[in-house]
Amino acid sequence: MKSACKPTIRRLVLTVGLFGAICGAAAAGDGKTVKGVVELFTSQGCSSCPPADAALKKLIDEDDVVALAYHVDYWNYLGWADTLASKENTERQYAYARMLGRYGVYTPQVILNGRDHANGSDLQAIRNRLAGMSAKGKGLSVPVDASIGGDEISIKIGAGEGRANVVVVYFDRARVVKVEKGENSGKELAYWHAVRDIQTIGMWEGKPAQFTLPASVLIEGQGNSGCAVLLQSMKDKETPGAIIGAATLLAGPQGKL
pLDDT tens column, 174-210: 999 999 999 999 999 999 999 999 999 999 999 999 9
What letters, b where the CB count within 10 A reaches 16 and e where it falls short, cover 184-211? beeeeebbbbbbbebeeeeebeeeebeb
* pLDDT interval class at 57 (50, 70, 90): very high
Contacts of 81 (CB under 8 A, 6+ apart): 1, 73
194 or 220, which is more confident: 194
* Per-residue pLDDT at 56 exceeds 60: yes
The C-alpha atoms of residue 23 and residue 16 are separated, in whole angstroms, by: 11
The C-alpha atoms of residue 97 and residue 206 are separated, in whole angstroms, by: 27
9-250 sits in which CATH class?
Answer: alpha beta
* Per-residue pLDDT at 132 exceeds 50: yes
229: left (phi over 0), alpha (psi -120 to 50) or beta: beta
Amino acid at 125: A
* Per-residue pLDDT at 23 exceeds 60: no
Q: What is the pLDDT of residue 257?
A: 34
CB-based contact 35:67 (threshold 8 Å): no
151 or 18, which is more confident: 151
* Per-residue pLDDT at 122 exceeds 90: yes
Separation of first and last alpha carbons in the chain: 35
Q: What is the pLDDT of residue 221?
A: 53
* Per-residue pLDDT at 147 exceeds 50: yes
What one-character-per-residue DSSP string does the chain give?
Answer: -PPPSS--HHHHHHHHHHHHHHHHHHHHTTTPPP-EEEEEEE-TT-TTSHHHHHHHHHHHHH-SEEEEEEE-STTGGGS---TT--HHHHHHHHHHHHHHT-S---SSEEEETTTEEEETT-HHHHHHHHHHHHHTT-S--S-EEEEEETTEEEEEE---SS-EEEEEEEEEEEEEEE--SSTTTT-EEEEEEEEEEEEEEEEE-SS-EEEEEETHHHHTTTTSEEEEEEEEEEEETTEEEEEEEEEEEESSTT-B-
Q: What's this model's pTM, rounded to 2 decimal places?
A: 0.86
Q: What is the pLDDT of residue 99?
A: 96
Q: What is the pLDDT of residue 220?
A: 59
What crossing angle do the helices spanning 50-62 and 9-28 adopt, rounded to 10°? 40
The mean per-residue pLDDT over the stretch 232-249 comes to: 95
pLDDT tens column, 75-108: 999 999 999 999 999 999 999 999 999 999 999 9
Q: Structural domain boundaries of the chain?
A: 9-250
Strand bridging mode 209-214 / 152-157: antiparallel
